[in-house]
Amino acid sequence: MDSYLLPEFVKSLNGLDHFDTESFIRVHALGEQPVSVHMNTVKPVLTDGGWPSDFIHPPFELAGKVPWAADSYYLSQRPSFTLDPLFHAGTYYVQEASGMFLSFVLSQITDLTKKMKVLDLCAAPGGKSTLIQSLISPESLLVSNEVIKTRVPVLTQNMIKWGRSNGIVSNNDPSHFKELPGFFDIVVIDAPCSGSGLYRKDPEAAASWTPDLVNLCSQRQQRILADAWSCLKEGGYLIYSTCSYSKEENEDVLDVHMQQYEVASVPLFPDRAWNIVETISEKSGAFGYRFYPDKVTGEGFFISVLQKTHTGLEETLKNYSSRKSMKSGPGGRSGKNPLRVSRSASLLLNPWIQAEQLELITIGESIHAMTPGLLHDLELLKNNLYLKKAGIRVGKEGENEWIPDHELALADFLNKDCPTLNISKSDALLFLKGESFEAGVSGKGWHVVCYRNQRLGWVKLLERRMNNYYPKSWRIRQ
Ligand code: SAM
């Protein structure tokens, strides 16, 4: 059978547990690409268990649930997501199904109703982060970090669309997290990898596979795990995943880590019917879970969970000194809160939000809303990391009026009584292109634009025209 997979690549996988060379090559040659989405539960859109019927590019149906993830579905074919306003409203995220297994992992290892701090260390474009934010309790904290600067905007955009106030986006190298010893309950490392698990989606990439690439990735992965280790608290979990099949990037990385630190590997118990392959690493007996596209409806994926059983002496001392400096640090000593919001700003803002469950802070010119109880953590993170987003930027004080930020339109706490323009799909697409449309109302001022009750952004209605405030860099071009 003709195959775009390099023979040396396939050969390198021979001998892996349950690896079936023939069916692996066959499934790649078939070229099928399952499409799947996970739904944003704070922005429900499914009606009678199906997609709104006027989403017709091309017509499709939900083709079953992703078995290991709540609120996640396969689609019968790939529609034009760009032309669906509900996609831009953040009502769902298009995500590869195997990667959604993180949902099962989180619910197995932890009580998700508890308050916790989660770091998604390699977060762009935001698939895992949106999934995590849907699963953790609203009072928990999610830090979504991306080291590559040019990939931060897409991550930020996706987190804004997800609309929750308990998230922070940072742009740091993994080594910077050493400054936060024992801070996180869970660290997710969806590591940069050789990407062989995605060759069905991008057959041309298969030609660039080399053993050197795999080794380079493996070294980098080991470094990332080592850098992230100290910010995990004792008893906390590190969830490691890649979309590579190579043992060097998966089981071997676990082995190196297990030999250097005090760690327990955590077994997972997926349903046998899901056909996920459990592996046990050669040197340390770490459990890993492999997804092969000839066995599951999804792409190639590997995931494993490590629990930190003991924090070393060096780390304990660092922990102690950083706690001490937090207590005597700025704000703590003077008793002043440097982030306080002025009374005039609060008065202007209050009618826009359901404020009882929010804390407001000033960052630069803007006011941000955060889940209560997270400000102390924010302060600590701000002092150690390069933060790109904190909570929801709700806007700023203008002359006698509140100037709402785009993030507020997409947030789950916008006041329901806020002036609203409900528009058709064709007008919604005009809005998303940054154009004007017939408003059909006589009111003036700021209005939130909605399609099927899902908010898209702001317009300001003036005497004879409309100003479209959909962010320029987000506008669709089709
Ligand atoms: N978790 C993301 C999701 O679900 O949408 C996908 C993450 S992707 C597999 C790996 C990410 O790691 C990329 O965004 C990449 O920019 C980032 N990355 C690349 N080099 C890195 C490094 N040296 N340290 C940490 N992250 C890195």
Residue 124 confidence class, pLDDT cut points 50, 70, 90: very high
Task: Provide mean pLDDT across the span 207-233.
Answer: 97
Task: Provide mean pLDDT across the span 37-52.
Answer: 86
Residue 214 lies in a domain: no
The residue nearest atom 10 of ligand 1, judged by CA position, is 192
Of these residues, 193, 217, 231, 243, which one is catalytic? 243
* Same structural domain, 336 and 397: yes
Q: What is the structure's pLDDT at 335?
A: 38
Residue 252 has pLDDT above 70, yes or no: yes
The residue nearest atom 8 of ligand 1, judged by CA position, is 192
Residue 456 lies in a domain: yes
* Same structural domain, 404 and 424: no
Q: What is the structure's pLDDT at 424?
A: 93
Residue 336 lies in a domain: yes
The residue nearest atom 23 of ligand 1, judged by CA position, is 220
**Among residues 263, 255, 218, 260, which one has the least CA distance to residue 237?**
263
Q: Is residue 226 within 6 Å of ligand 1 at its C-beta?
A: no
Residue 233 has pLDDT above 50, yes or no: yes
Q: Is residue 123 within 6 Å of ligand 1 at its C-beta?
A: yes
User: How confident is the model over 352-396, as pLDDT tens digits?
Assistant: 998 667 999 998 889 999 999 999 999 999 999 999 999 999 999
The residue nearest atom 15 of ligand 1, judged by CA position, is 192
Ligand 1 midpoint to CA 96 (Å): 15
Task: Provide mean pLDDT across the span 318-333.
Answer: 46
Q: What is the structure's pLDDT at 1?
A: 54
Which residues on adjacent β-strands are paired with residue 387? 170
Range of the domain at 436: 419-478
Q: Is residue 395 within 6 Å of ligand 1 at its C-beta?
A: no
Residue 109 lies in a domain: no
* Same structural domain, 403 and 352: yes
Which residues in 377-428 belong to E strands, given as ranges?
Answer: 387-390, 392-397, 402-404, 420-422
Q: Is residue 187 within 6 Å of ligand 1 at its C-beta?
A: no
Give the total number of structural domains in the chain.
Answer: 2
Q: Is residue 195 within 6 Å of ligand 1 at its C-beta?
A: no
| Rounded-to-integer distance, Cα 86 and Cα 425, Å | 10
* Same structural domain, 412 and 360: yes
Cα separations in angstroms, 468 against 159, 189, 350, 365, 411: 22, 39, 23, 22, 19
Residue 310 has pLDDT above 90, yes or no: no
Which residues on adjacent β-strands are paired with residue 449? 421, 457
Task: Provide mean pLDDT across the span 420-427.
Answer: 94
Residue 328 confidence class, pLDDT cut points 50, 70, 90: very low
- Residue 468's contacts (CB-CB under 8 Å, 6 or more residues apart) are 431, 434, 435, 436, 457, 459
Mean pLDDT of the chain: 91
* CATH classification at residue 445: 2.30.130.60
* Same structural domain, 411 and 356: yes
* Same structural domain, 437 and 473: yes
* Same structural domain, 432 and 445: yes
Q: Is residue 38 within 6 Å of ligand 1 at its C-beta?
A: no
Work out the angle at residue 120's Cα, subtended by the Cα atoms of residues 114 and 122, and round it to the nearest 5 degrees: 170
* Same structural domain, 341 and 400: yes
Residue 160 confidence class, pLDDT cut points 50, 70, 90: very high
- DSSP letter string, 275-312: -PEEEE-TTT--EEEEE-TTTSSS--EEEEEEEE----
- DSSP letter string, 42-68: TS---BTTB--TT--SS---EEEE-TT
Residue 139 lies in a domain: no
DSSP 342: P
Q: Is position 450 annotated as part of the catalytic site?
A: no
- Is residue 478 within 8 Å of residue 430, measured between CB atoms? no
Residue 6 lies in a domain: no
**Among residues 226, 390, 215, which one has the least CA distance to residue 306?**
226
Indicate which atom in ligand 1 lies nearest the CA of residue 220.
23
Q: What is the structure's pLDDT at 400?
A: 84
Lowest-confidence segment of 18-27, 205-214, 341-350, 457-466 by average pLDDT = 341-350
* Same structural domain, 407 and 363: yes
Residue 312 has pLDDT above 80, yes or no: no
Q: Dig out the tokens for 208 from the structure.
A: 């660039």
Q: What is the structure's pLDDT at 313?
A: 62
Task: Provide mean pLDDT across the span 211-240.
Answer: 97
Q: What is the structure's pLDDT at 355?
A: 65
* Same structural domain, 432 and 401: no
Residue 343 confidence class, pLDDT cut points 50, 70, 90: confident
Q: Compute the CA torsion angle 282, 25, 294, 32 (nearest 10 deg).
A: 140
- DSSP letter string, 238-265: EEEEES---GGGTHHHHHHHHHHS-EEE
* Same structural domain, 351 and 398: yes
Residue 460 lies in a domain: yes
Lowest-confidence segment of 59-68, 212-221, 271-280, 348-357 by average pLDDT = 348-357
Residue 437 lies in a domain: yes
- Is residue 330 within 8 Å of residue 193, measured between CB atoms? no
> Crossing angle, helix 127-135 and helix 152-162, to 10 degrees?
30
* Same structural domain, 446 and 465: yes
β pairing state of 301-308 and 359-363: unpaired
Cα separations in angstroms, 184 against 116, 121, 181, 225: 8, 11, 8, 14
- Is residue 303 within 8 Å of residue 239, measured between CB atoms? yes
The residue nearest atom 3 of ligand 1, judged by CA position, is 127
